[in-house]
């Protein structure tokens, strides 16, 4: 009887320790990495509305991806991965998905709107942002998104043709504008991101 009780006690302690470690890991995973508090980036969304990022979205948990509409490879994957996450949240008013274009020369609000339509995005809580080149670059620098543009060539009609290599990342930002986690955008685990978003929504 003594050994049985002792063994059960050891098992209970082990379970408690594992739960503590698990909770600590979860908290560390979503610890504040940086903050956008005090920053103001003037951008334009797909409806041609001026946006002050992140102030215009204060109070919303944001999942932010970085794309450009001429991207031939990972940007479509990032967009589809974010759309999978969005579809898990039908009853939350304070979750916002954001796509920031790092090709503002070509990605006008009209182009971004068409991009959203082509990918069948629910634009009720999905903002696609562009803006002046310098403003976009300042935001990307703050978020540690790096881009390298290939040399430009021109089509017969003088349309510029180039591609942009870029950081493969999606950023989770809480309602206070604090950066809580970064993910590889093209290999996004929707289950993990959904769990993290639920955690932040419950903090709100």
| Cα of 161 vs its chain's centroid, Å | 27
pLDDT tens, 73-125? 999 999 999 999 999 998 778 999 999 999 999 999 999 999 999 999 999 99
- How confident is the model at residue 90, as a pLDDT? 82
Q: What is the mean pLDDT of residues 143-147?
A: 96
pLDDT band at 19 (very low <50, low <70, confident <90, very high): very low
| pLDDT at position 20 over 80 | no
| pLDDT at position 155 over 60 | yes
Closest CA to 39 of 134, 142, 136: 142
Which two three-digit tokens encode residue 169?
A: 């990342």
Q: What is the mean pLDDT of residues 140-151?
A: 96
Q: What is the mean pLDDT of residues 54-82?
A: 96
Closest CA to 86 of 76, 98, 74: 98
Please give the Cα distance from 172 to 183 (Å, whole number): 8
Please give the Cα distance from 29 to 23 (Å, whole number): 10
Q: What is the mean pLDDT of the chain?
A: 88
- How confident is the model at residue 80, as a pLDDT? 97
Share of the chain above pLDDT 90, in %: 81
pTM, rounded to two decimals: 0.84
Range of lowest pLDDT (159-163, 178-182, 195-199): 159-163
């Amino acid at each position: 009887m003594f050994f049985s009780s002792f063994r059960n006690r050891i098992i209970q302690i082990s379970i408690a320790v594992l739960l503590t470690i698990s909770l600590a890991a979860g908290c560390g995973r979503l610890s504040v990495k940086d903050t956008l508090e005090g920053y103001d980036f003037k951008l334009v969304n797909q409806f041609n509305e001026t946006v002050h990022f992140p102030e215009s979205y204060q109070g919303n948990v944001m999942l932010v991806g970085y794309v450009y509409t001429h991207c031939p490879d990972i940007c479509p994957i990032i967009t589809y991965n974010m759309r999978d996450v969005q579809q898990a949240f039908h009853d939350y008013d304070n979750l916002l998905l954001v796509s920031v274009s790092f090709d503002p020369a070509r990605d006008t609000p009209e182009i971004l709107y068409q991009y959203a339509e082509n990918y069948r995005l629910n634009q009720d809580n999905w903002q696609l942002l562009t803006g002046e080149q310098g403003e976009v670059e300042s935001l990307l620098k703050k978020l540690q998104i790096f881009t390298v543009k290939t040399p430009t060539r021109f089509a017969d009609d003088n349309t510029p043709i180039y591609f942009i290599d870029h950081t493969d990342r999606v950023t989770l930002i809480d309602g206070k504008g604090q950066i809580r986690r970064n993910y590889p955008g093209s290999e996004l685990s929707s289950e993990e991101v959904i769990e993290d978003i639920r955690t932040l929504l419950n903090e709100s």
